[in-house]
Amino acid sequence: MSTTIAASFQGVPLSQLFPEQKEGWRGYIEWENEPKRKEIAARILKTKKFTPSPEFQLEPLPKTNPVLIGHRWKEYHAALGLQRIVDISWQTVLKEKPDMIHLLDFPYNGETPRKPLMQGKLTDNKLHFVRNHGGIPDIDEDKYELEIGGLVNKHCRISLKDLKDPAKFPQITMTVTLQCSGTRRIEQIQEYPGEGDELIQAPWGEGAIGTAVYRGVSLKKVLKIASGGIQPEAKHIEFIAADTYFKKGQVFNYAVSVPYRKVRQADEVLLAWEMNGEPLPKIHGFPLRAVITGVIGARSAKWITRINALAEPSLAPVQSQEYIYYTPQIGKQNVQYSTGFSIQNMPVSSAIIFPQDKELIVHDGAIELTGWSYSGGGNWVERVEVSPDGGHIWYAVKPEDLTEKHYHAWRLWKIRVPVDAEGWIEFCVRAWDSSCNTEPTFVRSAWNWDLHVTSSAHRIKLYSVNKTKPATAARLAQFAARGESIAPLTRPSEASLEDMTAFVEAMRKYPREPRTEN
């Protein structure tokens, strides 16, 4: 299904109705300060029919890259004459993120492949995950300015040049892990499907997490220096971004908020222009983004246009109607926005990256596993434990096999776990943080209608082949002599499983049939 694209509405060109009104801000349409513009956009959208979101929870995921196509979101933009935003966004993806797992082409959701995810404490900019909610603006640095308003003592506009001036605002660098609240969502989908949102709930695996060193200025200092502080009734800080967002036939700028107490804490909310020693990539928010430590990645808004001090949390849909955590009794039959709570801090979580689920592992009595662990909300990971039997016996990762601690970053880990058993075994991992929090044992305990925060112990099934077992060693030697591999598991061997003379001898020694005589 496709929507018919009209160049005008009631005789007025769409380019005039929805203009890029800021010089040097390509792909930015102001919606929040333009209620009439929002009303006209809603009227246009109401006249169209759009492609339904793809079904991928009750049917297998396509084995393509991109995995899913955002037809509906593209058609929303096209209906308002904003197809150019879609085109520029994909061009940016191909330039800045060519080697990613493209889970959703538009708005772009890109997952880090396994191998680069584990290459070091810091994630390369080209391979850091991306979760966008709209198109990617193209903003000139010398035309950029940040507006600060709401319940502050002085409204102001600040250029990026001024923000970067250390004589005006002290600069800081900080190592921060950002994690999408949808990380490991595929585990919930595979067992218990849930919400199928109009903005596709991307089927994230273990790669919707990444760590970088960001440079910028503390928002706490900016509010104090540039705006003279906030007024007493201000309790929340809202970030309004340049990307266009849709919800139930209405159009918005992407906007979120965090409690002011988060901003007030020492350098936990950063306005950043640099990532891993390089200017922010466009896809990560160039020229300026928020980096908010310890909370879900959705709060770290990119392409910030305005910051407002508010008395209450933002009523923007991403803040008030999405990223909501519901009880398992809530679902399509009874869900309301008000029946869940807003997700802020990320809980402790972990994942096994290697080996992968369903792998056949030939080993000498121990299997090596590697992965990541993380906890938000000002906590850090203290311990990682791995179980080879589904969660009964746990082995702790040695301190020297964990990467160093940071207040706001993950820890990578590796461990060799003793394994005697052969055949299918289930490994799982759990982390413990500095507040003694750990993970639910099973994904059912973490299921929620919106499929957020899959924080249960991550599980994989491996087929164990223990070559210290005499019979196994002999069989492996036979495979090697024939130039044959034991993998893949399901491929039948070309040779007979047993010499017939040996088989007959064994059957006569241990008959399969019981005796009939006394």
Average pLDDT, the chain: 96
Structure tokens, 336: 């309301």
pLDDT of 195 reads 92
Structure tokens, 216: 């910028």
* pTM of the full structure: 0.95
What residues have CB less than 8 Å from 79, skipping those under 6 apart?
3, 5, 44, 45, 48
Structure tokens, 80: 């308002």
In this prediction, residues 477-501 reach a mean pLDDT of: 93
What does the alpha-carbon distance between residue 170 and residue 174 come to, in Å, rounded to a whole number?
Answer: 13
Q: What is the pLDDT of residues 277-319, one digit of tens each?
A: 999 999 999 999 999 999 999 999 999 999 999 999 999 999 9
At 198, the pLDDT band (50, 70, 90 cuts) reads confident
At 382, the pLDDT band (50, 70, 90 cuts) reads very high
pLDDT of 1 reads 43
Query: Domains in the chain, start-ordered, CATH in brackets?
Result: 8-342 (3.90.420.10)
On the question of pLDDT at 370 being above 90, the answer is yes
211 closest CA partner among 402, 429, 372, 437:
372
Q: What is the pLDDT of residues 207-242, one digit of tens each?
A: 999 999 999 999 999 999 999 999 999 999 999 999
Residue 482: phi and psi, rounded to 5, are -90, 0
On the question of pLDDT at 179 being above 90, the answer is yes
The helix (H) or strand (E) run that includes residue 203 is none
pLDDT of 4 reads 52
The 3-state secondary structure of 45-107, one letter per residue: HHCCCCCCCCCCCCCCCCCCCCCECCHHHHHHHHHCCCHHHHHHHHHHHHHHCCCCEEEECCC
Instruction: Give yes or no for a contact between 170 and 314, defined as CB atoms under 8 angstroms apart.
Output: no
